[in-house]
Amino acid sequence: MLQIDDISFSIDGRPLFAGASARIPAGHKVGLVGRNGAGKTTLFRLIRGEMALEGGAISLPARARIGGVAQEVPSSATSLIDTVLQADTERARLMAEAATASAPARIAEIQMRLADIDAWSAEGRASAILKGLGFDTEAQARPCSDFSGGWRMRVALAGVLFAQPDLLLLDEPTNYLDLEGALWLESYLARYPHTVIIISHDRGLLNRAVDHILHLEEGRLTLYAGGYDVFARTRAEQRAVLAAEAAKVAARRAHMQKFVDRFRAQATKARQAQSRLKMLEKLQPITPPSEAARHVFTFPEPEELSPPILRLEDAAVGYGGPPVLRGLNLRIDQDDRIALLGRNGEGKSTLSKLLAGKLPCTGTLTRASKLRVGYFAQHQVEELELDETPLQHLQRARPHEAPPRLRARLAGFGLMAEQAETVVARLSGGQKARLSLLLATLDAPHLLILDEPTNHLDMESREALVEALSAYSGAVVLVSHDMHLLSLVADRLWLVAGGGVAPYEGDLESYRALLLSGEGKPAREKPGAAPKRPPRRASRDEILALRGALRKSESRIEKLEEMRDKLATKLADAALYEEARLHELQVWQAKYAEVMDGLDRAEALWIAAQEALDAALDPELSQS
């Protein structure tokens, strides 16, 4: 059991923990959540003993091993498989001693201990973990120095998973994984035999891999049973109760104060006034829980172009050698929301770069004459000028715009006055990602290509990104390991596999089953179960027609609401109610009733159109 008792800790005079306590039983899988800057990573460092507490205590069972991923993995000549095997230091030490030991008693002890820790299956276990994180057999034999920093971080993750510490601390582990690796990690952690605490903003991971949520807020810790969605619902209910109670107490205080102010100077009421004053002193105000600041993304709206905005015909793309992708016959319209699926190394990023104009191709690539493309990739965050402020980045991109306009652009992406004047090197990862997203969308692109946009974004920012992309009137192409984002934004799935790209006929859940099966085909039905007929997917023309019907319904509602407001203004004219104008009043009231009736019918049509579109985009809805 991990026991946190009444801990206190401050940084630069700012208290991060004030009397925080929690007890996490052995074997629990816990997601640690809280606002950026609340102290989640600091709590990990306190648990590991890297920082000294100001008060309280953190305790673990004697000899319990704590493990986590190092911030940087050395670029060594050691192979990946050997690097992972060395992470189990006890096994490595015993294997080395077994090669030199001569005393029969000691040899027996070593062999017994090696058997206890299942040392002889270690290579197979290490290889399976590396494979799950994207390294095939050939890659596992290559030295660490052959791989970039992001890939070496995967090796570090593989090492700590292989070592199986009693308490596993993971800080944003999916930030350097693709969708396949993230789904594999979810499955692995759900089966992990010891205690796990994960800092993550990945909603899918926090729903499927953990059984408790540890919430850090205002210096205190609260443990909730269930995954993130259960936690979010519970918190919403608590906020509603506290807000209602706070409103009730505030109303009572206002009523008492009004009585005191009115009667404290009157002798006949002085005693009652003094009584109310004493009650006011005892009536403790209830402060509703503070809400996270509203996170927003404000994407500029592009003008509409005639479809298609981009078309590929018999195209091929590569990097100078054999093509990575070939036989590409693809079309993108301005209202498309496309998710690129595919295992690591199949060419998702290559396709993204081709669509963004970063790579040439053979075959035919046709773009709309006025097409503007925005491209966001994780490496662009790393390429920001560290010694420049966000305002300076925008001034370079928009030299003729006035500073107030540039500041307004930054504020539209959650970078307020303080962040606008802070050099990039001192910004958080999420703030850097927001700046890169702003730069990618500065020209109001008709096509926005996002390669892992949610890395470093907190939960509120991810939800704000979903809202912004849903409202955005340009086309979106997404590569992401965040299935929550994909499920809410994408309505078309393209599978990048085997050197080609084709529409994926299943949904995200069937693709998840495909990846977790590890067989290159969807998971089989249970024996004896009736075969399930896959739901029919709507055609492209049907979806476009449904979207058109939805837009017409929305336009109709807007016009009727405008008419309603004008009539309401007319009916608010007091002169209309004079006896001489009663007939005119009846005419306007009849028109108002007519418009309200039309508005009810228009809203019913809008609901029906939305439900039809939802069912077309997710056929499972129509069968439930």
Q: Report CA 150 to chain centroid distance, whole Å.
A: 19
Q: 618, 507 in Cβ contact below 8 A?
A: yes
Question: Helix, strand, or coil here: 494?
Answer: strand
**pLDDT of amino acid 533:** 43
Q: Does the pTM of the predicted model rise above 0.85?
A: no
Query: Rounded to a whole number, what is the largest CA-CA distance in the chain?
Result: 118
pLDDT < 70 positions in the chain = 70-74, 242, 245-246, 248-249, 252-253, 255-256, 259-260, 262-295, 518-541, 544, 617-624
- Identify the pLDDT of residue 552: 77
Q: What is the DSSP string of 314-334?
A: EEEE-SSSS-SEEEEEEEE-T
Residue with tokens 């067989």, as numbered in its chain: 519
Rounded to 5 degrees, what are φ and ψ at 66?
-110, 135
Query: What was the pLDDT predicted at 623?
Result: 47
Distance CA 314, CA 323 (A): 12
Q: What is the pLDDT of residue 14?
A: 83
Q: What is the pLDDT of residue 74?
A: 67
Dist. CA 380–CA 161, nearest whole Å: 30
User: Cα(132)–Cα(516) distance, rounded to whole angstroms?
Assistant: 9
Over the range 78-90, which residues count as b (16 or more CB within 10 Å of their CB) and which as e? ebbbbbbbbbbee
- Residue 524 has a pLDDT of 34
- What tokens does 213 get? 């949520």
Euclidean distance between CA atoms 385 and 306, whole angstroms: 37
Asked if 182 and 201 count as a contact pair (C-beta separation under 8 A), the reply is no
Instruction: Compute the distance between CA of residue 227 and CA of residue 238 in angstroms, rounded to an integer.
Output: 17
Strands 500-503 and 2-11, by their bridges, are unpaired
DSSP 236-294: HHHHHHHHHHHHHHHHHHHHHHHHHHHHTT-GGGHHHHHHHHHHHHH-PPPPPPPPPPP
CA proximity to 40, closest of 258, 215, 256 = 215
CB 524 within 8 A of CB 532: no
Angle between helices 459-471 and 429-440 (to 10 degrees): 10
Is 17 within 8 Å of 198 (Cβ atoms)? no
- The residue type of 224 is Y
